Amino acid sequence: MKTGFLLLLTTSILFLGCGKTSVKTAASTKVDVPSSWTADGKTWTHQTSLNESDEEVLMKFFQVHTSFQGSTDFEGSPQILVSGKSDRRFYWFRGTPDALAWSCIHFEGRKFRTSEGTGSPFVK
């Protein structure tokens, strides 16, 4: 019951206010997410789907940071990279391969931060 409720609540929060838009998401941009990537002195591994812990982290983020609710920057399912037991980076992609934009929610050391950019975040 708890898992179903968390999934429903997380999905509702992620899609709050997100109607039809002309923004193309990762599925249409075919972003190549590496299976392993090193950044900030950590090795990050691509995780193919959200688990209950990820849902709880995202739910907490959107509860605390209400100004991000309904933003098209966080529309659709994120790509997830993990490092260690609890560090997570959730990436959302939009645009086209030639004009790629991304937004990221970082959960590291029990703290949140966000970042955004253009092009691939995985190229140094």
Q: Tell me the pLDDT tens digit for each residue of 38-92.
A: 988 999 999 999 999 999 999 999 999 999 999 999 999 999 999 988 899 999 9
Query: What's the pTM?
Result: 0.77
Structural domain total, the chain:
1
Classify residue 104: in a domain, yes or no.
yes
Classify residue 124: in a domain, yes or no.
no
Does the pLDDT value for residue 22 go beyond 60?
no
Classify residue 30: in a domain, yes or no.
yes
Classify residue 47: in a domain, yes or no.
yes
Confidence of residue 1 (pLDDT cuts 50, 70, 90): very low
Per the structure, the complete domain to which residue 15 belongs is given by: 2-118
Classify residue 35: in a domain, yes or no.
yes
> Do 99 and 120 contact (CB within 8 A), yes or no?
no
Classify residue 92: in a domain, yes or no.
yes
